[in-house]
Amino acid sequence: MIRLTDDYVIEVDNYNYALYRDYGKNKKNGSPMRKALGYFGTMQELLDYWAEISVRNKLMEQDEISLAEAVGIVKQELETVRTTVRSTIPDVAI
């Protein structure tokens, strides 16, 4: 398992990379409570999708904003995602 943030983790198997939302809780049987968000053939595809859902989640938090404010939020959130990825794996383009 690869932890991206407190809320997101990656699991890798022989066939794909899987992005999960980690709820930080355990089920009754003790296993972590996670929701699969998608399965990807490459790490790059997974990171691109993670960036997209991070932006979408930030925009959904807003009640009503202007287009200019939305663009600012998109830029800020993408930079946050890029910084997280670059600090961990500097050779990946995102």
Q: Which residues lie below 8 Å from residue 11, measured CB to CB, with a gap of 6+?
A: 1, 2, 17, 18, 20
Q: How confident is the prediction for the chain on average, in pLDDT?
A: 86
CB contact at 8 A, 56 and 44: no
pTM of structure: 0.73
Q: What is the pLDDT of residues 43-75, one digit of tens each?
A: 889 988 998 898 898 899 999 999 999 999 999
- Domain map (residue ranges) of the chain: 2-88
* Both structure tokens of 62: 């807003």
**DSSP structure class, residue 36:** E
